[in-house]
Amino acid sequence: MTETMTTEPAATLTLAKLYASDSAAFSKLEPDQSSKAAMQKDVEQMGSGLIEAFTFAAALAVLYEALDVAFLDILKSGWKTMAELQAYRDLEKHPPEEKSWVKLGRHKLTSAHEPKVEVLFNGKHLGQLDFDAKLTLNVTDAKLKVQNGRIWEVTGPVFEGEATLSYKGFLLLKKNLARFTLPSGVTFEKGVPIIPMPVSIG
């Protein structure tokens, strides 16, 4: 199966750009009717006459800016706790001068965010609209360069999955992400510290 190499440089690819190429394109998306009704109700309760001035396009434009989360930061957050990398935290078994390439198996990365849109009228803050953004990625073929307990480089990752936006439990938007990859040799200038895997208690 073939994949598309994103035309967006890895360093500038963001969560927002996975939904739409820019703010103008994002503003033209048509939200689900249930989420639109919920937003309208909340805006109407914030102040008399406010609903007449409210537009979904304007709200989406601001929301797009709130989704300006670096894609590489999402990858760093998911990879730094991977089970395959935990052994490389032991600097006695893997001394600082040792360089290793670690091939990760097929895995899933999930990233949740809570972007907010402030509602202003005549310069006065009246409230805010709280959204839930979720990115789910299935990742294959990723190889990470590891040294001194840190991740320094990644090559070959292939991604596919979906990005969703919700408002008060109502699905606002859903974007299916076709298979794509990043340019080879994406480097992390300061390295990404490998940290212990989270422990579930329950």
Indicate if the pLDDT at residue 80 is higher than 90.
Answer: yes
Percent of the chain with pLDDT over 70: 93
Residue range 35-77, pLDDT digits in tens: 888 988 998 888 777 777 778 888 899 999 999 999 999 999 9
Rounded to an integer, what distance in angstroms lies between the CA atom of residue 102 and that of residue 146?
7
Residue range 2-26, pLDDT digits in tens: 545 455 678 889 999 999 999 999 9
Computed over every residue of the chain, the mean pLDDT equals 89
Q: Across the strands, what pairs with 143?
A: 103, 155
Indicate if the pLDDT at residue 32 is higher than 60.
Answer: yes
Dihedral angle sign, alpha carbons of residues 177, 71, 131, 53: negative
Q: What is the pLDDT of residue 5?
A: 47
Question: Exposed e or buried b for every residue in 155-183, given b needs 16+ CB within 10 A?
Answer: bbbbbbbebbbbbeebebbeeebeebbbe
| Residue where the block lists tokens 């990858």 | 75
